[in-house]
Amino acid sequence: MDFTFSPEQMALQGRARVFTEQYLFPFEQEVQDTNALSAESSKTIRSAVLEAGFNAVNHLREDGGQEYSLVNQCLVFEEFGKATNMLGLQPWMPAYCLRFGTMEQREQYLRPAIRGEIREAFLVTEPQSGSDAGGILTNAVKDGDHYVVNGLKCFASGSEKADYMLLHCNVDGDPKKATLFLLDKGMDGFEIVKTPRALYNGPSEHPWVQLTDLRVHESKILGGIGQGFELTKDWFVEQRANIAARCVGVAVRCAEIAAAYTEEREAFGRKIQDFQGIEWKLADMAVEIMAAKALLYRCASEYDNGLDRKAAHARMSAVKLFCTEMAWRICDQALQIQGGHGYMMDNPVARHYTSVRAERIVEGTSEIQKVIIGGQIKKRGMGVYTGLMTQPNMPGGNT
């Protein structure tokens, strides 16, 4: 079994590292100081993304995307993740499920989004139903060739700037008719009612959105009535893999900063890297990063080699759980090693400390990942996690 990367893949990750250091790191302090990116800064990054070919790495070339494998997506997002203040999200990646849209929908939304001409937001979470997508109350009722939508969405990240949105709701109040609708900016009945401040400073807000008698044409349904859950799950699989990859990048940068600090900092006449208590912290960091990378790239490789839809959802929950929790532990220890210096916001570790905390929540909390994992074990046995994939489209084995 060969887990080595090809020269082309190593070159790809090298390009992503250079891009991150040249076009994301320089804007970290701006975002930290202003909680935003200026129009000029956004334009600079956008041009650099297009020139480097890092736009829409998840979409087909026929639509203008880069059509990267999941392994290659993870390679670049590992590097992007090293940038603080969520700047790693600046290389845009339209929702995977848009590839299942009609030709008209792909032409109107997907292809311009791939080119970076329009921006999207995904509206799923509600005040009473975050991780429990089955508890969604936003409802759509058919009225002629339109649907009338009412509901309240929270943490609709980026919707304050979005040109279009994907709305997850139920038709006729029936969770079995969970459906995705495409909404356009400026529609009557769409109102941002609250924009709470997040713990970290970043270039996007997380508004609450009220939908009141919003009329959306039936041609704006993505996939079909009742396909909302499956399409959203596809989005979750890809998002969880890329969150995990970003978190590996966070861990690597924080661990490297901490290690460099121990080489310079002295206490009691010795460099602190020579104290066993510090040495063991660094050793734990190294092993955790090594384990996270092995898990991430193994599961991404299985996905690329034909892992079935349900098994992919199951295994990416484990990947997201492990990598986000790992990054939090390493960030915390890297800050602790640096003492007061680590706590200052001009230190990348401190900035990562606030933003990586969100990664344990977004796209399914750590607790929900455990619920998914436990449910899969009940349905399919431990082999879905303890076994290796024996062949494409197999849920797991014990080889």
Establish if 398 belongs to a structural domain.
no
- Cα separation, 396 vs 399, in Å, equals 9
Establish if 143 belongs to a structural domain.
yes
CATH number of the domain that 361 lies in? Answer: 1.20.140.10
Statement to judge: residues 271 and 310 lie in one domain: yes
Give the DSSP per-residue string, 311-341. HHHHHHHHHHHHHHHHHHHHHHHHHHHHGGG
Q: Residue 1: its pLDDT value, please?
A: 62
What's this model's pTM, rounded to 2 decimal places?
0.93
Statement to judge: residues 235 and 190 lie in one domain: no
The parent domain of residue 190 ranges over: 120-222
Express each pLDDT in 245-289 by its tens digit.
999 999 999 999 999 999 999 999 999 999 999 999 999 999 999
Express each pLDDT in 25-51 by its tens digit.
999 999 999 999 999 999 999 999 999
Burial (Cβ within 10 Å: 0-12, 13-18, ≥19) of residue 310: middle
Q: Residue 146: its pLDDT value, please?
A: 98
Which one of 205, 222, 239 terminates a domain? Answer: 222
- Cα separation, 381 vs 372, in Å, equals 13
HSE at residue 211, side-chain half, CA atoms within 13 A, is: 29
Express each pLDDT in 98-139 by its tens digit.
999 999 999 999 999 999 999 999 999 999 876 666 789 999
Q: What is the mean pLDDT of residues 344-366?
A: 95
Q: What is the mean pLDDT of residues 329-345?
A: 97
CATH number of the domain that 140 lies in? Answer: 2.40.110.10
- Cα separation, 335 vs 337, in Å, equals 6
- Cα separation, 26 vs 298, in Å, equals 32
